[in-house]
Structure 1
């Protein structure tokens, strides 16, 4: 996928990301209507007060079409949190996910975080496999009821 490039997230991407997350997770995982508003609240908070020195978001594009996103935000003084990692179906398996993850991890390392964390569900098997291939460790797993579904919530960490 050589035509894919990453650009900084801008506030004008918010509605697209909310729609993509809501539609994709409803279609692929059966999530209910509570997921889109959660994504919107995360993005609105990021737009309102993120620190661009140590927090960033990226959009993957090809030919002017948005393909996905990833965000690096502060969890605490030494740990970055990976958020809102998404790839539209047509971008999967073509290297865009690795490109986004690599950018996010490199940024976190460059700005001085000691490590990273993320929260996901085990049903996101391809993403979890990508995390494992990149040296992330699964440190916690528990059954939950979220977004109208019985899920297994996971926490992954990475140390630089």
Structure 2
């Protein structure tokens, strides 16, 4: 835990310097980063109650009062008493205030563009994905509901192997032989597959891989669904069912008559997805695998 605390504190110090760089574009203006944030919040609404503004930004009441007084003197805002409660004060940006906010917003955007410009497209994706992950973990708001299903990009197949190895150890206690099996499947696909009869899909959430599935050839008439995975952070979004649907649609278009899959009885969430997709259990066997005892199940459905 202490090492983790030190790493987080180190990141905080680093990011404080980054914020300073991003705020450099405002140094030529008469407004601080905090004042820019207040103008940002005021720009989002027609009117804002001062108490709400203070709570939203966690500002000292006296500090906020002095800031708003300065804004009013500069002609950036107007203030009035609430008609419902005279104790409440309502704040509204003036046209001049909105023009000042646009100037500050443009300066801030220019700073971010300068920060991103030297980065490769891959590094930009990694940066956004990492920032989004931090926000989702530390924020108590619900996870995003949007995702995309796409073909794999360079690096995605390695991610599939890595995440199968990590998740099945963490969630089921399986050993490295399962990761080895995933690696063999992926290597066979990458080493030479017929794109007319075999395919892979990656689910992506906020620019980061969040799930996978493969449709592979078993024989001329039979396809096999393999390596279905959904990240814990993306579960409940319908990604697993959508990946299975993609696999089934492709298999039918590719001319297969039947599709099969192998799973184990402990994977109850995956089993429910397969059942909803029309798969039926053909047979099951108890065996030793992946460093433990499992019940392998074989499912199929016609196409």
- In the superposition, the TM-score normalised over structure 2's length comes to 0.52
Which position in structure 2 is the counterpart of 1:151?
294
Query: For 1:49-68, what aligned pairs fall within 5 Å after superposition?
Result: 49-68=192-211
Higher relative contact order (CA 8 A, sep 6+): 1
CA contact (8 A) 1:14 1:40 kept: no
CA contact (8 A) 1:21 1:86 kept: yes
Structure 2 CA distance for aligned equivalents of residues 119 and 10 of structure 1: 26
Bigger helix share? 2
How many residue pairs are counted as aligned between the two chains?
160
1:65-124 C-alpha deviation (Å, 9 max, x unpaired) = 110000001000011000110011111121111110111101101111101000110100
Structure 2 CA distance for aligned equivalents of residues 86 and 51 of structure 1: 23
Match of 1:27 among 155, 164, 170: 170
Distance 1:47 1:11, change over 3 A: farther
Give the superposition deviation at 1:134.
Answer: 1.3
Q: Please list every run of 5 or more consecutive structure 2 residues that lacks an aligned counterpart in the other structure.
A: 1-143
Alignment RMSD: 1.1
Structure 1 CA distance for aligned equivalents of residues 153 and 220 of structure 2: 24
Q: Confirm or deny that 1:111 pairs with 2:233.
A: no
Which position in structure 1 is the counterpart of 2:149?
6
CA contact (8 A) 1:9 1:56 kept: no
Q: Please list every run of 5 or more consecutive structure 1 residues that lacks an aligned counterpart in the other structure.
A: none
Distance 1:132 1:15, change over 3 A: same
Instruction: For residue 219 of structure 2, give the secondary structure of its aligned residue in structure 1.
Output: coil
Match of 2:244 among 98, 101, 104: 101
Q: Confirm or deny that 1:16 pairs with 2:159.
A: yes
Runs of 4+ in structure 1 displaced over 4 angstroms? none
Q: Confirm or deny that 1:123 pairs with 2:276.
A: no
1:5-35 C-alpha deviation (Å, 9 max, x unpaired) = 1111245212211110011000111101111
